[in-house]
């Protein structure tokens, strides 16, 4: 009844992932994900530095180990610390559920639903490619799509698939190739212009609504790029197109009051949180009902232990989940999202993207996607993911920093 080993792996089957594998003295293995896009070696080092602290501890005492790592760090919170604590926490929950012989969600209160409503990433450089992308997902049964559109005159736009084979939602080619890993030593520089964005996107939503009708759940990610006032004007303007949510309309991570400005002017639902990693960041957002959806990933937010508390608090304010689930969260991290999604009463929607075939050779998953819902295998104990160490070793780490963004005059801006 003790942790015997805590090993850290960095693998790059298409993009970099950090895996923590904890083994108990009776041979039970638990997996955690500490991937922090572009900063993978940093979380890997953090985990290596705390691994010795875990040895000999009772693996059952998850809350105590969480508090030990959080309060004991003294330098608490921040993305690196919280992603690393999360990897430990998720691995311990994986072990506990395997010992009980049940899927992890059983230990979190059991299944609150049959399946998880998910959304996919559609995008286009023009209308034919956007419609092709949306059609591909609808053909696969998706009920919800995030829609991103290239800005005229701007060389590349956040969230718009760049290569020809990524433009469609059909088959493997649906893999979104933009934010992953344009591998280089230094960040790629992009350009942003709010005026072009704010005049282009409302028309896009109007056209999509007219073409696909009222039933399609339509999401959009503004990626922190508008000022509070611009975000308010934009969110108000797109109200007629009835979005499921507008994500990261303004960088309210800097100041939650930004969202108050937006809220005062619009009923467009707001989602935020992919760069937020602790309850302290959520207190005001939730207490003042400044958001509708919590967007953090379980893996960036201290794991299941911490995220479950945030979602319980959110429940009392009518706020739901929409956990971050791009491909820079490994299948282990995505499994942690799914397991918590299954259990909480205030589940909203879950983001999914297509992993590369190489990633799925390294991580063996047991989830199925059918008719726009993810289903977990009720017979698979724990998280439902296995890690193939030998396969992982075939893909060594490669530097892949996130891009940076500048305005047309060269001023640095939010990416
Ligand atoms: O690492 C950054 C990406 O995960 C992020 O840019 C993706 O915004 C994103 C999303 O909503 O999935
Ligand atoms: Mg986002």
pLDDT of residue 174: 40
Q: Which ligand is nearest to the CA of 300?
A: 1
- Range in 57-61, 160-164, 189-193, 239-243 with the lowest mean pLDDT: 160-164
CATH code: domain 108-383 is: 3.20.20.120
pLDDT at 183 > cutoff 80: no
CA of 59 to the centre of ligand 1 (A): 32
pLDDT tens for residues 209-233? 999 999 999 999 999 999 999 999 9
- Range in 182-196, 287-301, 399-413 with the lowest mean pLDDT: 182-196
pTM for the full predicted model: 0.96
pLDDT at 408 > cutoff 80: yes
pLDDT of residue 185: 86
CA of 326 to the centre of ligand 1 (A): 6
Asked if residue 33 has its Cβ within 6 Å of ligand 1, the reply is no
- Which entry of 70, 105, 158, 355 is annotated as an active-site residue? 158
Helix (H) or strand (E) holding 234: helix 228-237
pLDDT of residue 175: 40
pLDDT of residue 181: 53
Asked if residue 59 has its Cβ within 6 Å of ligand 1, the reply is no
Asked if residue 401 has its Cβ within 6 Å of ligand 1, the reply is no
Asked if residue 37 has its Cβ within 6 Å of ligand 1, the reply is yes
Residue 317 a catalytic site member: no
Count the Cβ atoms, other than its own, within 10 Å of residue 43.
27
User: Quick one: which atom of ligand 1 is closest to the CA of 121?
Assistant: 12
Instruction: Please answer whether residues 399 and 389 qualify as being in contact, where contact means their C-beta atoms are separated by less than 8 angstroms.
Output: no
The superfamily (CATH) of domain 3-102 is Enolase-like, N-terminal domain (3.30.390.10)
Torsion (CA) 194, 39, 16, 297 in degrees, nearest 10: -70
> Closest residue (by CA) to atom 12 of ligand 1?
326
pLDDT of residue 158: 87
pLDDT tens for residues 6-15? 999 999 998 9
pLDDT at 167 > cutoff 50: no
pLDDT at 172 > cutoff 90: no
Residue 223 a catalytic site member: yes
- Share the mean pLDDT of the chain: 94
- Range in 28-37, 147-156, 239-248, 265-274 with the lowest mean pLDDT: 147-156
CA of 35 to the centre of ligand 1 (A): 13
CA distances 153 to 191, 197, 214, 256, 404, Å, are 10, 11, 31, 32, 18
User: Is 326 buried (19+), middle (13-18) or exposed (0-12) by CB count in 10 A?
Assistant: middle
pLDDT at 83 > cutoff 60: yes
Mean pLDDT of the 128-137 span: 96
> Closest residue (by CA) to atom 7 of ligand 1?
326
**Band of pLDDT at residue 2, cut at 50, 70 and 90:** very high
- Which entry of 70, 105, 119, 223 is annotated as an active-site residue? 223
pLDDT tens for residues 276-305? 999 999 999 999 999 999 999 999 999 999
Q: Pairing state of beta strands 293-294 and 270-272?
A: parallel
Question: Domain ranges in the chain?
Answer: 3-102, 108-383
User: Of 331, 82, 178, 336, which Cα lies nearest the Cα of 321?
Assistant: 336
pLDDT of residue 161: 79
């Amino acid at each position: 009844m003790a942790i015997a080993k805590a090993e850290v792996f960095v693998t790059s089957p298409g993009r970099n992932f950090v895996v923590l594998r904890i083994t108990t003295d009776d041979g039970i293995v638990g997996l955690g994900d500490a991937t922090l896009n572009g900063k993978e070696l940093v979380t890997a080092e953090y985990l290596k530095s705390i691994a010795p602290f875990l040895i000999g501890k009772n693996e059952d005492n998850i809350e105590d180990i969480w508090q030990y790592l959080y309060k004991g760090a003294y330098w608490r919170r921040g993305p690196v610390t919280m992603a690393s604590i999360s990897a430990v926490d998720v691995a311990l929950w994986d072990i506990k559920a395997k010992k009980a012989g049940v899927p992890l969600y059983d230990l979190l209160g059991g299944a609150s639903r049959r399946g998880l409503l998910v959304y996919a990433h559609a995008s286009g450089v023009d209308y034919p490619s956007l419609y092709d992308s949306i059609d591909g997902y609808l053909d696969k049964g998706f009920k919800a799509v995030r829609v991103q559109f290239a800005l005229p005159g701007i060389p590349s736009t956040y969230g718009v698939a760049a290569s020809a084979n990524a433009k469609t939602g059909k088959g493997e080619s649906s893999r979104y190739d933009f934010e992953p890993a344009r591998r280089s030593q230094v960040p790629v520089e992009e350009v942003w212009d709010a005026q072009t964005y704010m005049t282009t996107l409302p028309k896009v939503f109007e056209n999509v609504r007219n073409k696909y009708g009222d039933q399609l759940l339509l999401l959009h990610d503004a990626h922190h790029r508008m000022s509070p006032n611009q975000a308010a004007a934009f969110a108000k303007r797109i109200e007629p197109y009835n979005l499921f949510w507008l994500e990261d309309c303004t960088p309210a991570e800097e100041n939650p009051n930004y969202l108050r400005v937006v809220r005062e002017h619009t009923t467009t639902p707001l989602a935020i949180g992919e760069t937020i990693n602790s309850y302290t960041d959520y207190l005001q957002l939730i207490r003042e009902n400044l958001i509708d959806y919590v967007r953090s990933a379980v893996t960036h937010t201290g794991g299941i232990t911490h995220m479950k508390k945030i979602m319980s608090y959110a429940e009392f304010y009518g706020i739901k989940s929409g956990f971050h689930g791009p491909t820079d969260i490994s299948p282990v991290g995505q499994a942690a999202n799914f397991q918590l999604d299954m259990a909480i009463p205030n589940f909203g929607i879950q983001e999914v993207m297509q992993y590369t075939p190489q990633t799925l050779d390294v991580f063996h998953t047991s989830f199925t996607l059918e008719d726009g819902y993810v289903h977990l295998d009720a017979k698979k104990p724990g998280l439902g993911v296995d890690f193939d160490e030998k396969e992982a070793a075939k893909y060594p780490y490669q530097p892949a920093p996130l891009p940076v963004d500048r305005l047309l005059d060269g001023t640095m801006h939010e990416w």
